[in-house]
Structure 1
Amino acid sequence: MTGRTTAGGRRGVLRRALSPLTGASTVRAGVYLVIGGVVAGAYFVLVAGFVQMFADPRTPRVAVGVLALVSAVIVATPPFLAPVRALEIAAARTFLDVDSRVLPDPAGPPTVSSRWRGAAWFALHLALGAVVTLGLLLAVPLATQLALSVFGVDRAFLVETVPAVARNPAAWAVLAVLALVALPYGTALARRLLRQSAEPLLGPDQTARIAELEAQADRLAERGRLARELHDSVGHALTVTTLQAAAAARLVGTDPEAARRSLAAIEDAGRSAMADLDHVLGLLRAGDDARPGTDRAPARSLDDLPALADDARHAGADVRLDIAPGTTTGLPRATSHEAYRVVQEALTNAVRHAPGSPVDVRVRIDDDGRTLDVVVSNPLPAAPSVPSPGGGGRGLHGMAERVRLLRGELDAGPRDGRWVVRARLPRR
């Protein structure tokens, strides 16, 4: 076993050592570097031309100086432009196999730091590209000349330039192979250097990373909010529907009128759930695919508590609703909506776990006028109810999240033989 492992390790080392000669990544990196070398050559030709003009005493200095300044501004501007940086990012991912998680697409306008880092990457690309391109232009003709000299063609070149090697024709072939082999290894080295520099030079800066983290947190919070909306609205409707369907099945033969009332309650609960579902789907459409004027059901608020209490009464609960006058006036929409959802979930739990028990719902503004106080309480059942499948306590967790997002307080648990849910939400 150890011998096999050692042999496999040796083959792996050999494979990695020869990968620059056989890997497609070297070819892609070579193309990218040659492009940089060509651009660097254009810059070199431009600089050489101005140097030659300044060296000529007959050249008008002022005119050439102005032309050189304008040309310098023109050729120095592209590395700082956002489209060029975006193009470099796409090229690095395509030709250098840099992961998109390391180099994500630029988001928002570039900062001063990102512009300078993009310019540094541009300069590094051109410098390494110039080295690789120069090596290509030297290595291929040199290897060709050495190969021809092995067969006796034009040996004068070697005799004049490398007389020691000229006396040993076998060395010509070795030099030819080394000249060609050095090129892919140099390309692989330049590729590795560029890959290591990609994230610090082309990656998002600290400001962009913080903005991305904040956007990700917003997306997660929005997903959690939509999940809570679906859980509370659809869960309440399903609870009422299940209880009313069971009641209708029991009474259809003995009390048809009561069975019809249960079926009517099921219909009302279904309509309410459809309205809530339409509201949630409207929130989902309010993203990229939203169209101005798209109709969707309004969000529930404390003004809808009487209808919610009627639904719970149809499900067999004895709901006593106590809303202090003026409580819902002037409440922020978010506060009113979240308070409604807290009451809805508390009623759903009461109907599910303590069917038939009286439920007290009290909503009022505290004496200080700053806090909305919502209390839902019901007697504890004589025997623990059987947990419904998939319950898992998500309702209480969802209520806590709703209250916490509004910087409020939630207290839920047994108190003096009653199950009490109390939410205190800032009024403003």
Structure 2
Amino acid sequence: MATPTARRRRPGPRGALRPLTSASTVRAGVYLIIGGVLAGAYLTLVVGFVQMLADTGVPRAAVVVLALLSAAIVGTPPFLEPVRTLQVLAVRTFLDVDAVDLPEPSGRPSPATRWRGAAWYVLHLVLGAAVTVGLLLAVPLATQLVLSAVGVDRDFLRVTVPMISDSPVAWVALAVVLLLALPYLVALARRVLRQAAVPLLGPDQSARIAELEADARRAAERGRLARELHDSVGHALTITTLQAAAAARQIDSDPEAARRALAAVEETGRTAMADLDHVLGLLRAHTGSTDTPPTGTPVPAPPARGLRHLADLVAEARRAGTSAVLSTDPQVDRTDVPAAVSREAYRIVQEALTNAVRHAPGATVEVALAVQDEALEIEVFNAVRPATSTPVGGAAAGRAAGGGRGLPGMADRVRLLDGHLAAGPEPAVAAPGDRDGAHRWAVRARLPLGARGSAT
């Protein structure tokens, strides 16, 4: 059975007659005739200067100067950036070239791009001149053949085309062939132009590389915004849910504790709103949304959270009912930690605490920071559990590790700083009297202090 590709390569009678009935042939013919008219103007100018040079009564030096000046004027448009843009738009409209294959020009074109645009200009004029000449010759000749076949001015045809047959049927057949040849000539020229459009009008290698780099930057920015939303808003929702649940349980038995829980919900909500406003401001700025604030209105400043805010983060986890402990090596306070490393370290600890609060409520979580070998070492691990029992966080924790966005987000942050991340269950020293092997869930990250990666 023939494949669709094979069928396209071997068109049947309908495909062979397509140039006669397709609207694309008409559009291409209009485009080519425009090129033929421009070519006729250039030809008229050249013929005029040749006649002036042949006339001995015209000063030769003045003709040469005028010819050079005219050549500079008429030779400049093919190299202009607006002309190239118009050519791209015309090719999309008249030749049905996909915008994906031929994107709209952006940026200042290089000299090589200008020369390729000029080559397209010349090709358009040459093929347009061929189609226009064929039209100007075929239509009058076909008309004369039909008139001669019905008995009008046959002597003119015999004088102008002495080799033609004397049969009126042959004259009509030749007229039909001439008229039918025009669409196929246009289709052939259209095919040549379509094949040359991308090499001559498309972006060059440097432009393609720049576009790929811009796409990579946009993808990285989208990923960064997604991580910010996931880490900040996800953490806030987790803490808010737990605090609200605690307030609901204690509202009758311990109203004061319920009020403290509701106050924590309010504070967490305000923090999340600040993060959300910042991320949405960046999103509007990068997408050029019409909802962007008026000119002069600054994008909300990013919340300046880093290592010095870890104590507040741990305290927030405690208020949510998690027994959290923060241990910081004094060397960390004496080290000039780069802002990017400080910010990403905060987000990594925040996500690790969020997972612990969500999947192992009530379990003790330890956070430790130290500086070793020009790198910031981060450790977040939960309480010890026997290996034979359900792991801390249970099945939910396993699902989060395998299918959630928390660990991939942390991995992206670490990767952008050329660091290292390890997360998962690991053996731990069992509690006294525990005969089974013990395990704990740990997140370990190493961030080089000299990192100046994309996260900056």
Amino acid in the other structure paired with 1:351: V
Q: 1:316–1:33: structure 2 CA closer, same or farther, 3 Å change rule? A: same
The equivalent position to 2:361 in structure 1, one of 339, 355, 360, is 355
**In 2, Cα distance between equivalents of 1:418 and 1:51:** 93
The equivalent position to 2:417 in structure 1, one of 384, 399, 406, is 406
Tell me how far 1:253 sits from its aligned partner: 2.8
**In 2, Cα distance between equivalents of 1:364 and 1:77:** 66
How big is each residue's C-alpha offset from its partner over 1:102-142, in whole Å with a ceiling of 9 and x where there is no partner? 10011211112111111111110000000001111111111
Partner of 1:383: 390
Question: What is the TM-score of this pair, normalised by structure 1?
Answer: 0.92
Partner of 1:305: 310
Tell me how far 1:59 sits from its aligned partner: 2.3
Partner of 1:20: 19
How big is each residue's C-alpha offset from its partner over 1:248-270, in whole Å with a ceiling of 9 and x where there is no partner? 23222322222222222222221
Tell me how far 1:320 sits from its aligned partner: 1.5
The secondary structure found in structure 2 opposite 1:283 is helix
Computed over aligned residues only, the root mean square deviation of the Cα atoms, in angstroms, reads 2.3
**In 2, Cα distance between equivalents of 1:420 and 1:282:** 35
Tell me how far 1:38 sits from its aligned partner: 0.6
- Contact kept, 8 Å, 1:275 with 1:297, in 2: the verdict is no
**In 1, Cα distance between equivalents of 2:134 and 2:404:** 68
How big is each residue's C-alpha offset from its partner over 1:50-88, in whole Å with a ceiling of 9 and x where there is no partner? 111111222222221111111111111111111111111
Amino acid in the other structure paired with 1:204: P
Question: What is the TM-score of this pair, normalised by structure 2?
Answer: 0.87
**In 1, Cα distance between equivalents of 2:80 and 2:398:** 57
Tell me how far 1:410 sits from its aligned partner: 1.3
Amino acid in the other structure paired with 2:312: A
Mapping of residues 50-199 of structure 1, within 5 Å? 50-163=49-162, 165-199=164-198
**In 2, Cα distance between equivalents of 1:22 and 1:217:** 44
**In 2, Cα distance between equivalents of 1:99 and 1:155:** 50
The secondary structure found in structure 1 opposite 2:361 is coil
The secondary structure found in structure 2 opposite 1:199 is helix
**Number of residue pairs the alignment of both structures matches:** 420
Tell me how far 1:333 sits from its aligned partner: 2.6
Q: 1:386–1:249: structure 2 CA closer, same or farther, 3 Å change rule? A: farther
> Percent identity at matched positions?
63
Partner of 2:209: 210
**In 2, Cα distance between equivalents of 1:12 and 1:71:** 48
Tell me how far 1:154 sits from its aligned partner: 1.2
**In 2, Cα distance between equivalents of 1:362 and 1:164:** 101
**Structure 2 stretches of 5 or more lacking a match?**
429-438, 451-456
The secondary structure found in structure 1 opposite 2:424 is strand
The equivalent position to 1:425 in structure 2, one of 447, 450, 453, is 447
**In 2, Cα distance between equivalents of 1:375 and 1:314:** 21
**In 2, Cα distance between equivalents of 1:90 and 1:250:** 67
How big is each residue's C-alpha offset from its partner over 1:231-258, in whole Å with a ceiling of 9 and x where there is no partner? 1111111111222222223222322222
Mapping of residues 260-279 of structure 1, within 5 Å? 260-279=259-278
**Structure 1 stretches of 5 or more lacking a match?**
none
Q: 1:147–1:35: structure 2 CA closer, same or farther, 3 Å change rule? A: same
The secondary structure found in structure 1 opposite 2:164 is helix
Amino acid in the other structure paired with 1:374: I
Tell me how far 1:307 sits from its aligned partner: 2.1
